Amino acid sequence: MKNLSKRQPLLNPYEFYTFLLSHFDPQHWWPAETPFEVVVGAILTQQVAWRNVEKAIKNLKSSHVLDPCKISNLPLGKLEVYVKPTGFYRQKARRLKGICAYIFKEYNGSLKRLFNKETCSLRAELLSLNGIGPETADSIILYAAGKPSFVIDAYTKRICERLQLTDDLDYESLKKFFESSIPEDVEVYKEFHALLVELGKNYCKTKPVCKNCPLSGKCI
């Protein structure tokens, strides 16, 4: 485990959060109607634009299969067709089906039972499933289970780098950095992450879009 940044950052995370709140509309994430839709979206959005995920979710909804039991019983080929727009579709279909089968087998298809665990053991259990890494696990815990677990994504890492908010930290260290700097509050965690993505999508891409960026001047 790396040490957290010893140098005084230009902006502390909570100030950064209030700054973002004052510059962007509330995001009210996650864009989904049910916790299970969050789980599916979290898998499907890996390394792909959200608009592609919307197509896949729409396919699943219009086919009336957006349910853990239905998906675990769906032929792989059909599931692949539904999730095709999200790319890596063979992998994602296989993993999604595996995760649904697990929920079906271990929890009788009830996410509530799965989520009725302590955050720490829930996270470990999610991480043990093929297709769920740290970001997906934290997204599910925060936005589907409604428990505090700060989500780190590529934008967040990039923004921290550009603002010199932290040293180059690994996932768990960066997560701890945020969690130790802001109130342990589900709504704060949700909105902060969503705002970081919003900032990232508009201004902090691999090639920075500095024009009109509310952070221009603070960025390196």
Using CA atoms, how far residue 184 sits from 58, 86, 181, 194, 217, in Å, is 34, 33, 9, 16, 30
Q: Is 209 in the site for DNA (CB under 7 A)?
A: no
Interface map 20-59 toward DNA (x if CB under 7 A): ---------xxx---------xx--xxxxxxxx--x----
Q: Is 154 in the site for DNA (CB under 7 A)?
A: yes
Give the binding range for DNA (CB under 7 A) out of 10-18, 153-161, 176-184, 209-217: 153-161
Comparing CA positions, the residue from 78, 71, 75 lying closest to residue 39 is 71
Among 58, 90, 105, 113, interactor with DNA by CB under 7 A? 90
Among 13, 66, 104, 139, interactor with DNA by CB under 7 A? 139
Please, which residue, 17 or 135, has the CB nearer to DNA?
A: 135
Q: What is the DSSP string of 154-206?
A: HHHHHHHHHHT-SSS--HHHHHHHHHTTS---HHHHHHHHHHHHHHHHHH-SS
Q: Is 14 in the site for DNA (CB under 7 A)?
A: no
Least distance (Å) between residue 16 CB and DNA: 18
Report how far residue 112's alpha carbon sits from residue 115's, in angstroms, rounded to the nearest whole number. Answer: 5
Give the binding range for DNA (CB under 7 A) out of 65-73, 102-110, 147-155, 179-187: 147-155
Dihedral angle of Cα 78, 59, 125, 90, to the nearest 10 degrees: 40
